[in-house]
Structures are given as structure tokens and as C-alpha cells.
Amino acid sequence: MTTTAQVVDALAKVNDPELHRSLTELKMVREVQVHGHDVEVTIALTIPNCPFKDQIEADVHAAIAALPGVKKVVVHMTAMTDEERKALFGEPKEGSAESYNHIQRTVAVMSGKGGVGKSLVTSLLAVALAQSGYRVGILDADITGPSIPKLFGLRGPLEAGPVGLIPPTSGAGVKVMSINLVLEEEDKPVVWRGPLIGKAITQLWGDVMWGDLDYLLVDLPPGTSDASLTTMQSLHVNGIIMVTTPQSLASLIVRKAIHMAKLVGTPVLGVVENMAYFKCPDTGKQHLIFGPSHVSEVTEAAGAPLLAQLPINPLVSSLCDAGKVEAVTLHETMDLLKAFLKAIPVSITAP
């Protein structure tokens, strides 16, 4: 007959897909009951709405079902409390950069597709916030394709503070941190596997002296891979801005990112359509270079409003190439700013 010890031993060989540690080591196995040939277990996920819930449940079921004599397996899923997570993973140590930081809102800028202008939207919004008196930082989480320092004309090396790295500050007062600022050569590629990329993102978050910020904007890499998942689960993201372009293909892939956000329980604050149109400087007529907009499909899938539609503007491209994104002036940026502040307000006087 199967014993409780055999069940626990089988579960010790099942790993959390993201943390790569066994369920027993992570103290996720909460209760094991053996009734003859039937086994009933309770597993506590590290976070509610874990995107790997189904995989963990299936792996647990398979591991127990493989034991000799087991005929029926029942798996109950629950989640750890905040206190249990703190006991397992610990709290920021006194004197660390993370304990030094006080960030009111963390907002990720995301898209399922590359080349839609996430970095531009992140930068324009950050500059508009800073010029309106808000304390703003940008974390460039696109480890393999960082572009934020280039847009702001910033370069390393970084200065080390008493408890962490000091992020360089742009002319408008935006604090910026990116892997490109710590590379010896800015065009050197970062050829890393998923776990290393995830670790780098959490270090750029926790080992940097951000100080007091009203908003930290996180420029995510394209897609729904490890990097995006790590960011949303580890950085206490309060909301997401989805960026899309008019093409039907772009809206389809962005909807995939929206579904991922729903899986991890992070709300979508709104949608920005970039490259929505080109306004002819001679006639003032708007031309739909990429065809008619499909942004309504994206907002409907997200259950969130359209924050702004940004035009194609060659001057914007040239300024960004020159590292002068802060010199970009688009009246649509003010639309974005107002809608953003309405979606996720903060107290500008709060610490």
C-alpha cells in the first residue's frame, strides 16, 4: 500500500517550472492523505493566479499516479499568504537598495510583437510625466534589445552608491536603468538564456537606488516569454499599457499578451496605438499607411480604454536616433498623459 512518505518523496522530484526548485523545498506541499488506493494532496502556489497552475497540477497528478498501487489522485490547489511568501523568500535587507526605494506605482509597457514602439511610448510618457512634476524612472527590461539609453542619449559607466547602483538622470529628470549602461561596449550582444535574463531584470529592479518615485515605467521585451513573466511576478507591477499598431497581425499578437496579463492577474490600464496615421505636412490630410485601425479589437479584448493614437512622424525618428527624445513635441502625448493619470493616479506630494 502507498504511504504518505512515498507520496512526499514523489513530489520532491516535481519542480516549480519557473523557480526550478522542488515543491517540497518551496514548502508548497501542504497536506497529503492516503486512503487505501486513493491519494489526496493540497498544493499551495507561490502566488495566486499562477500561470503555471495547470502544469504544476498535471505534474503532481502524474508523479503520484505513477506510484505502485495508486488508483485515484485528487489534487487541490491553493495559494500562499503574504506572510508565508515572506518567510520563504525573505524581505529586503536593511541597508539594501530595495529598502531604500519608495515607488508608488510600477507600470509595464508591453506588446506581444516587436517593432511597435514600446520604447518610444515609454519614453514619451516618462518625459511628459517628469515635465508635469512627477518623479519618474524607466527600467529597460528588454535585456537582449535595450534601446532606452539610446533614445535619451545616455551612456555608462554607472556610478555606485552606498547601497546600489545610481541610475543616470536625463535632462528632464527621468531616471534610467538599462543593461546597456553596464556593458563595456553598447553594441555588445547579450546572449543569455531565460533564467539569466530573469535574474538580470530583478537585479536592475532591486540593486538600483531609485529613491522616491511616483512612477516606475518598465519597458518590456516583445512577446510573452520568461522576461515578461518574471517582471510581472517579481516587480509588483500595478498595471500594464499595451502598445499596438494598426495592422490586423499586430492586434492579434497583442491580444495574446493581453491574455497573458489576465492569467497573471495584472490589470491592463489602457491601449496605445502607435503609427496610427501619417499627417501630410503640405495638405494636413491623414493617410493610413498601415491600413485601417484594428485597435477596437485590442481594447475590447483588454477591457480597457484607448489612451492615445500616435502618428508616424519622421522628425520623431530623427530626434530619437540623435538621443533627443525629450525634444519630441506631439500634442498626442498630452492626450496620453491625461488618460494615463486618470487610469492610475498618484499623490504627487506623497513620499
pLDDT averaged per 10 residues in sequence order, the chain, 351 residues: 90 82 90 93 82 85 93 92 75 62 89 82 96 93 77 83 82 89 61 57 77 91 65 76 83 77 82 90 87 86 90 92 92 93 76 40
Burial of residue 262 (number of CB atoms within 10 Å: 0-12, 13-18, 19+): middle
Sign of the torsion angle spanned by Cα atoms 166, 170, 173, 174:
negative
C-alpha dihedral (318, 324, 330, 333), degrees to nearest 10:
130
Task: For cell 485601417, name the residue.
Answer: 292
User: How far is 172 from 181, CA to CA, in rounded Å?
Assistant: 19
**C-alpha pair distances (Å), 240 with each of 39, 169, 257, 269:** 41, 24, 10, 6
Q: What is the pLDDT of residue 142?
A: 76
Q: What is the pLDDT of residue 252?
A: 76
Which backbone phi and psi does 25 adopt, to 5 degrees? -65, -35
> Does the global pTM surpass 0.85?
no
Task: For cell 491623414, name the residue.
Answer: 286
User: How far is 325 from 305, CA to CA, in rounded Å?
Assistant: 26
**C-alpha pair distances (Å), 272 with each of 9, 72, 186, 260, 306:** 50, 50, 29, 18, 6
How far from the centroid of its chain's Cα atoms is residue 32's Cα? 35
Domains and CATH numbers, the chain: 4-89 (3.30.300.130), 97-343 (3.40.50.300)
User: How far is 286 from 304, CA to CA, in rounded Å?
Assistant: 26
